[in-house]
Amino acid sequence: MPFDFPPRLQALQTQLHRVRADYSAYCRSLPWSVEPHPGWEAREGVYAHRGDVEPSPGYTEEQRRRKAAFEVRLRRLAAAVVDHGFWATVEREQVVAARMALKRVPSEDGKG
């Protein structure tokens, strides 16, 4: 590996990957509409290939809180990765390559 990433930076990146995956999975489990919505019937020529859209109960307060908590955590992790002091040691022309390489570094447990 051409870049010698500090263990803390690697751990932050691994955590960011995991939290992003958890967030994506959580969002897929939520109702399609944040607010309650009655849905609609498919019309000829207007998204007819998607079929009828069932009503959405909207998000509960707990779902809103949990989604917002995920978003706060993602922003903090992303900022911690981007602001890490390691980046000041990388030649400017190599920063993008280093960032892409960091995204592909496997985690210590092999799951990252």
What are 22-61's pLDDT values in tens digits? 999 999 999 999 999 999 887 776 666 668 889 999 999 9
Which residues touch 84 (CB under 8 Å, ≥6 apart)?
Answer: 6, 8, 9, 12
Instruction: Note whether residue 85 is domain-resident.
Output: yes
> Count of domains in the chain?
1
Amino acid at 13: Q
Instruction: Note whether residue 91 is domain-resident.
Output: yes
How much is the pTM?
0.84
Instruction: Note whether residue 72 is domain-resident.
Output: yes
pLDDT number for residue 45:
65
Q: Is the dihedral of CA 74, 77, 111, 100 positive or negative?
A: positive
Give strand pairing partners of 37.
Answer: 56
Instruction: Note whether residue 99 is domain-resident.
Output: yes
